[in-house]
Structure 1
Amino acid sequence: MQDTATAIRTRFTTYRAVVTRKREIGPHFVRVTFGELGDYDCQGIAPKVKIFLPDDADEAAAARELTIPTVGARGFEYADDAPKPIVRTYTIRAHRPELCEVDIDFVVHSDGPAGRWVTNTVPGDVVGLTNAGGNQPLPELAHSLVLLGDASALPAIMTILESLTADQEAIALLTADTADDEIPLESAADGRARWIRGSDEDSMIEELRQALSAHQPDYVWAAGEAGALRGVRHLLRRDIGYSPMNSHIVGYWKRKADADEVADDVFARMHAAVADGRNLTPQELDELTVDDVEYLPTKP
C-alpha cells in the first residue's frame, strides 16, 4: 500500500520558472507565460500543476529569493529557515517544449494571494512549478462528449477540445455569473461551446440534463465549484447511471472557503482513505475534491 508521502514523492518534480510575459484574455482573466523550463515534464489531458508563489503577506519573505521546495522522503521539503511559499493548483493551458515555456490562465481575484500576485507580476519574476500530469487519454469508445465547467475549468476544457480527433464530437457548457466572466473562446471551441449565464446549481443541473438527453454522450467531464458538483455527480451517477469509467468529476475551488483550507481538507481525506487501506485511482483522488461521503472509494 502506498502512503501519501510516497505518492507525493513519486508524483512530483519541481522546477524554477521565470515569467516572460502576460496578457489579459478577459476582464478577470490573465494568461501568464513561464519560461526557462528545459526538459519540463507535462503529460496527459488537462494537465494540472502546483505553482509556488511568494507570500505577499510576509514582507521579509517577499524581499528574499523565492524558496522552491525539493521533493524528498516526506513530500515537499524546505530548509528549516526558509519562508514557505503560497501553493496553488492550476491547469497548464499550453506547453511549448521547443521554447521551454508553458502558459497558465489565472482567474483574478484581488482578495486572494494568487490574484494579487498575477496582478503585480512582471517579466523576470520567479516562481516554482511542479511537473504537470493530466487525465489519461479519453476512452476509445468516447466518440461523443459533454463537458461542463465554470471559468476555472475553461483551460482544462479547451485542452480537451484541442485533443479530440476528427471522429469525436463534443459540446461544452460553460457557466458564468456575469458577462465579465465570459472569456472570448478560442477556435477549438467554435460551434462546440456556449456560455450559460447564472452558475447556481439548479440551473447548471437542468442545462446538463437537457444536454445529456439531446446528445446521449459516451463520456461526461465536469469541473468547477465543488459544492455545485455534488448535484452534478448525483445526477450522473445515481439518476442516469454514468460510472467513473465514463465520467470524470473534479472540484477546482469551493465557494466561501479559503484555498489553503480546501487543500488541507482534501489532503486529510486522502490520507484517511489510504490509511484505511483504500487504493485510490487518479479518478478517485480527483473526486475527493467533491466532499460527499457516499462516493468515497471502498477498500480493495
Structure 2
Amino acid sequence: MTKPSLLRREPRTPRRRVLQVTRVEELSPTMRRIWLGGDDLEADFPFSALGATDHIKLVPPDPATGRVELPPPGGPRPDMRDYTIRRFDPATKELALDFVLHSHGPAGRWAIAASPGAEVGVLGPRGSQIYPADCSDYLLVADETGLPALERFLEELPPAVATHVIVLGAAERDLGAGAGVTWLPDASSLVATVAALPLGPASFAWGAGESGEMRELRTHLRGRLDAERISVRGYWKQGHVGSAPREDD
C-alpha cells in the first residue's frame, strides 16, 4: 500500500502580469536578484511558507519589438522559462527572482541587461507544493539553479531542525547556514558525500540541479529512504537549451 505524500499541494488561480524591475541586487559574480513590481502585481500574491519550489513562468520581451507579448489563453506560447519564487514583500509589493547569469537563453540575456524600469511578463503560479516542517532532519542539495529554493528552505524550516546542505559548482557565499554547508566543485563526489551522511527513517531529502546528476542522487536515496521522503528534481539537462522537465521523486 502506497504511503500518503508528505507534501501538500494547493491549487492557485494563475494570473497574467506585465511587471517592471524596481531594483537589482548582485548576489555573486554569477547570480543576480531582480525585484519586480507594478500595478499588475497583486498584494495577495501567493507566497506560502515552505512552498520553496513554487515557480512562475517568465516571459521576456519580444526581441524583435522590445515589447512584452503575453500569450492569449489557448494561443501560441512565446519563449518562456520557469523561475523559483524567491521572495515576496507584501509591504513594498515586490516580487524577487534569482537568476544565474548567462547569455545562451532569452531570460538569461534579459537578466544581464535588466535595470529599473525594464518590463517582463510573469505568469502563474499554477499551484503551491508545501513541504513538511516536522521531519527529524533534512538533506538539501542544489547547484546554482536550485539555490533560490534551497535558500528558502534554510529560511523557512524551523530554526532548531538539523540540515545537511550540499551545494554543487557554485561560488561560495553566505547562505545563512554557517558551517553546515558542504561546497563541491562538481557532482563527481556527490553520491559518496551523501552516502557518508547519517540519514534516518524520519529524514527528508530534497535536491535540484542537472537532470542526470539528480537521477544518480535519487537512485542512491531510494535505497535509504521511503519514496515519500525524497523530492529530487532535474531543473536543467546538459546539452538541452531551455527548461528541462521537472522531475518529482
CA positional deviation for 1:69 = 3.0
1:38 equivalent in alignment to 2:38: no
CA 183–123 in structure 1, closer or farther in 2 if over 3 Å, else same: farther
The aligned counterpart of 1:170 is 163
Alpha-carbon separation, structure 1, partners of 2:138 and 2:211: 21
Secondary structure of 1:104's aligned partner: strand
CA positional deviation for 1:10 = 6.5
CA positional deviation for 1:12 = 2.3
Q: Which runs of 5+ in 1 are unaligned?
A: 1-8, 79-83, 267-285, 289-294, 296-300
Alpha-carbon separation, structure 2, partners of 1:47 and 1:151: 16
2:220 paired residue among 235, 238, 242:
235
1:50 equivalent in alignment to 2:36: no
The aligned counterpart of 2:4 is none
1:184 equivalent in alignment to 2:191: no
Alpha-carbon separation, structure 2, partners of 1:157 and 1:15: 26
The aligned counterpart of 2:70 is 68
Deviations 1:97-148 (Å, cap 9, x if unpaired)?
Answer: 12111111100112222221111112111111123344313153x1211111
So what's the TM-score if we normalise by structure 2? 0.84
So what's the TM-score if we normalise by structure 1? 0.70
How many pairs were matched up? Answer: 232
The aligned counterpart of 2:6 is none
Give the AA of the match of 1:240: R
- The 8 Å contact of residues 15 and 130 in structure 1, kept in 2 or not, is answered as yes
Alpha-carbon separation, structure 1, partners of 2:160 and 2:27: 30
Structure of greater Rg? 1
Q: Which runs of 5+ in 2 are unaligned?
A: 1-10
Alpha-carbon separation, structure 2, partners of 1:222 and 1:156: 10
Give the AA of the match of 1:152: T
The aligned counterpart of 2:23 is 21
CA RMSD of aligned residues (A): 2.3
CA 26–166 in structure 1, closer or farther in 2 if over 3 Å, else same: closer
Bigger share in helix: 1
Among all aligned residue pairs of Structure 1 and Structure 2, give the percentage whose two residues are the same amino acid: 27
Deviations 1:179-237 (Å, cap 9, x if unpaired)?
Answer: xx3141232x223323112233xx111111112xx343610001111111111111112
Alpha-carbon separation, structure 1, partners of 2:52 and 2:69: 29
The aligned counterpart of 2:229 is 246
